[in-house]
Amino acid sequence: MKILVSITGLILLLYLSAALFLFLIQRSFIYHPTPFVAHDFTEKIVGAGDGAALRLIVGNEGLSEAVIYFGGNSESVADSAGDYIESLPDKTVYLVNYRGYGGSGGRPTEENLFNDATVIFDTVSKNHSTVSVIGRSLGSGVACWLASKRPVDKLVLVTPYDSILSIAKAGYRIFPVEFLLKDQFKSIDYAATIKSPVLALLAQHDVVIPAENSRRLIEAFIPAAEAVVLSGTSHNDLQLNPEYYPLIRGFLN
């Protein structure tokens, strides 16, 4: 009996230790900050509410309509800036370096990214007649939240999810994820309040965001978002499909 109690106690200790470990390092699973990369694009510095300096890459300056781009969790927007700027020649394009990414100050958290998104939108909208938003992967959660709080003209979501909480619960079934996860990015909770037209671009072979998570979000919009599956693509290479940029350009125009 004593041996059984000891084994049970050891298992419980290991379980609690694993849960504590996941709790302490959870943000390292969500955010993979990229360093500043030298580039030839114009940059704009936007001051966040707490004083953090956010670096935005800007292209096609001075046009009436604008687009704000929120990238993936390990994306260097300097690498994709040229393609977006070239593909959207009739819009001023702002690509956001999250806190801790690309030389921006501060640390990324859900609350910080949401607050920063509103500051950026309010800053950009002062100089443009309309502002559309593109959010990719992690950035789709930022984009959905922003579109529920600000008058976004059109919304493009690339490999979006219903919530990071939902994905984490599927991956860590033995843990009470809903109580442990700090940054839950519940896009599905905001979808029904978003009035903007929505285009969702999905990868045919996405092993990062399960198809059912994307579909739940798409169907939560009223009406349901327009969805296109890009053949032959995976989570990280949708932009290589020849339809990717034309679809975005056609929708935003």
**Every domain of the chain and the residues it spans:** 31-252
- Tokens found for residue 170: 């599927």
pLDDT reading at 52 higher than 70? yes
Q: If one looks up domain 31-252 in CATH, what number appears?
A: 3.40.50.1820
pLDDT band at 87 (very low <50, low <70, confident <90, very high): very high
Q: Which of 99-103, 171-175, 189-193 comes out lowest in average pLDDT?
A: 171-175
Mind listing the pLDDT tens digit for each residue in 217-234?
Answer: 999 999 999 999 999 999
User: pTM for this structure?
Assistant: 0.94
Report pLDDT for 171.
84
3-state SS of 11-30 is HHHHHHHHHHHHHHHHHHHH
More confident residue, 22 or 138: 138
Report pLDDT digits (tens) over 94-139. Answer: 999 999 999 999 999 999 999 999 999 999 999 999 999 999 999 9
